[in-house]
Chains A and B, each alone.
With several copies, the nearest count.
Chain A
C-alpha cells in the first residue's frame, strides 16, 4: 500500500480523483436529498474495502492517518465530484471520541464494526426541550447495579431509522450545573424500550427521527469516559466540524442551479438579474476566501476558535438567499411539487425547502450569533 501522506498534494489529489471516477456510483452524484443506508451502503462498503472510510483516524485503528491538509484535499475532491454523505456518524463523530476517551476494550469492540459497516451509528443529542439550549438534556440515566437505565426522548436524530446503534447524552446528575451532569452512553437500537419514529420534513423526506427511551437498560461498559464528562467530550471534538459546516459547497451547488434556472426561464441576460447574480457570486467568492483562511488553520494542525461560527452563519444564509432568488425567478414553477420537466437540476421549490433547516440545525443561527457576540466580540452576557 502506498503511503498516501508521502505523496505530494497534487499527486494525492489526482489519486483521489481517479478513484472517485472509477469507483463512485454515477447515479449517486449530487443526490437532491440525504441518502438512506439502503442507497449509500454500496459506496460505504467500497470505501471500507479500500481502507478509505476513515481518513482522519490513526492507522493503528484502521484509519488512513492522513494529515489535516490531505484530508481537506480529499474532502474537496469529494465535493467536486458530488459524492453523497454516507451514514457517517460512526466515522466522523463517535470514532474520534472513542479514540480519545474510550477504554481499550471499547475501542476494540466498536471501531472495527464501524469500519466494516456492521454498526451504523446515529447521534442522540437534541431533545424537544433541548434544541438551541442543548445543555438542558432531560433524558436521564440512573445507575442500577452494573447497569444504567435510560428514560427520555431524543429528536432530530439524523437517519436513526437506518442505525443499529445510537450514542446518547443523558443526565446523570440533576444537582450539578447544566453542562456538568451529563454522561455519554452507547445504546443498541434493538435494546428493549427503544422506539424510533421518523419525522417527515418539509421536503417530504424522512431524514430525521424521534427516538424514545423507555426504561432502556445498558451495561456500565457502555458508558464512555467518566460519569458527568459527556458534555465536555462532545464539545471537545467540534473544531473540525465548525469549519466543515461552513463549507461553501451548498451555496456553490445552488448558485449553479440558479444559473441553469435563469437560463431556462429566459431571464439570464436581464441586467437586474445579472446584477443580483453577480452579487451572490461575489458573496460566494468572498466566503470561499474566508473559508480558505480557516482551512489553512486546520492544515497547520491547529484548532480554530469560536469565530469559525461565522462560516456557518454566512454560508447558511447565503445558501438561503440563493434559493430564495430561485423561487423569485421561477414564476409559477416556484410552487411545483416535483422538479420542472422531470429534470432534477431544475428544482427550485425542492432546493428552497432543503435550504430551510441549515439555519436551524447545528446550533441555530440565533445561537451562533449569541456565541459570536459574547465569545468572540466580547460583548457582555
Chain B
C-alpha cells in the first residue's frame, strides 16, 4: 500500500474508533452531564485513555502511538461531532510536556492533568507571571476548561513548568459555568507545593499550545459539520406552505454559503495539520494554526447561529439539540485566541513584503 493510502486508512480507523466510544448521534449523555461537577464521565475518560488517545501524538517509546496532527485532528473532529465534554485536547496538551511517572499515570487514565497556562483573557501565548521557587508555586491562572475534574494542573511559570496536585495546600479553584454545560476554573496558587517539569522547554510549551489551538479548530469543524447536517435534515423534513422549507431558494442559497465556509474550514485545518506534521520554520507553522483557528472560530459561529435561524422557533428551545452546538461554539470560538487575535498574529508572523 502507498504511504498516502496507509495514511488515509489510519484516518478512517481513527474516525471509526472515535465513533465507537462516543456515538455522535446521541446527545443524551452530553445533556445528562451538563452543568454538573465534574461535568465528565470518568469511565469514558478511561476508555479514551485505553484507546491511547491522549498519547496519540507521542512517540511509541514514550508510550504513545507516534501519529501526527492530521490523525489527532481527525479524532478530535469526531469528538466535536458528538460534543464530547471530556478534556482530551487538554489532556493531550499535558501529555506532550510530561515525562516519566506523571505521564504514565495520565496516559493510563489514572490521573487527569490539565494545563493551566493562561493569565489574561484572550491570550494565545502562555502566561509566565506565576513563580516557581523552592518547589512551591504562586500565581493565578484563568479559564482552565473542566478544571474541577483535574487531579493535577500543569502550570506555566516564569521558572518553567510545574505540576501541582489539585488537592495540595495553597491550591484553590473558583468555578464558573459555561454555556456548553462545562465550566472554566480560575486557579489560585498560594505557595502551593509543586514538582518542576524540567524536560519541557518554552518552545515545547509554545508548540503544544499551537497544537491545542489547532485541535480546537478541528473540534469546531466537527461540531459545525454535524450541526449543518442536522440543519439540512431539518430543511428536508419541515414543511411550510405545502413544501419542505429546504426547497425555498433563499434557504438553499444560505445553506450553500454555509457549506462553503465549512469546506474552507476543513481545507484550512487539514492544511495546518499537514504543516505541523512536516518539518519547517516556526513562523509559518504558527501562522498556519492561526489561519485555521481564525477560520474555525468565525465559521463555527456563523454556521451554528444560522442553524438556529434555519430551525426557526424550534431552534430556540433548549430541548432542541441544535442549540447545544451553538453553545459549544460560543465557548470554544474564543478559547486559545479569538478570530481577531489570530488574524493579527498571522499578520505579525508573516508580514507582507513587496514580493511582486
Contact = CB atoms under 8 A, between A and B. Distances in A.
Nearest to B297: A328
Contact of B330 (A272, A329, A334, A364): A334
A152 B122 CA distance: 50
Nearest to A309: B256
Given A335-B335, A336-B178, A281 B352 contact: yes
Given A199-B319, A201-B318, A377-B256, A324 B301 contact: yes
Nearest to A310: B260
A368 B250 CA distance: 12
Given A256-B356, A260-B356, A360-B309, A337 B318 contact: no
Contacts of B271: 289, 292
Contacts of B103: none
Interface in A275-312: 275, 277-279, 281-283, 285-287, 289-290, 292-293, 307, 310
Range, interface on chain B: 35 or more
Nearest to B328: A335
A226 interface: no
A132 B339 CA distance: 34
Nearest to A271: B344
Contacts of B339: 328
Interface stretch (A107-115, A168-176, A349-357): A349-357
B347 A274 contact: yes
Interface residues of A, number: 72
A209 B311 CA distance: 17
Given A279-B343, A378-B232, A129 B259 contact: no
Interface string B232-273: 100110011101111111111101110110011111101100
B148 interface: no
B122 A259 contact: no
* SS of A interface (majority): helix
Interface in A325-380: 327-338, 349, 352, 356-357, 359-361, 364, 366, 368-370, 372-374, 376-380
Contacts of B239: 129
Nearest to B340: A328
Contacts of A247: none
Interface string B29-72: 00000010000000000000000000000000000000000000
B153 to A, nearest CB: 17
B316 A332 contact: no
Residue with the greatest number of chain B CB neighbours at <10 A, chosen from A133, A202, A208, A356: A202
Residue with the greatest number of chain B CB neighbours at <10 A, chosen from A204, A272, A334, A378: A334
A34 interface: no
A313 interface: yes
B232 A379 contact: yes
Contacts of A314: 260, 264
Contacts of B309: 356, 359-360
Contact of B338 (A277, A290, A331, A366): A331
A286 B268 contact: yes
Given A200-B317, A332-B184, 5 more contacts: A274-B347, A289-B264, A327-B334, A372-B259, A374-B252
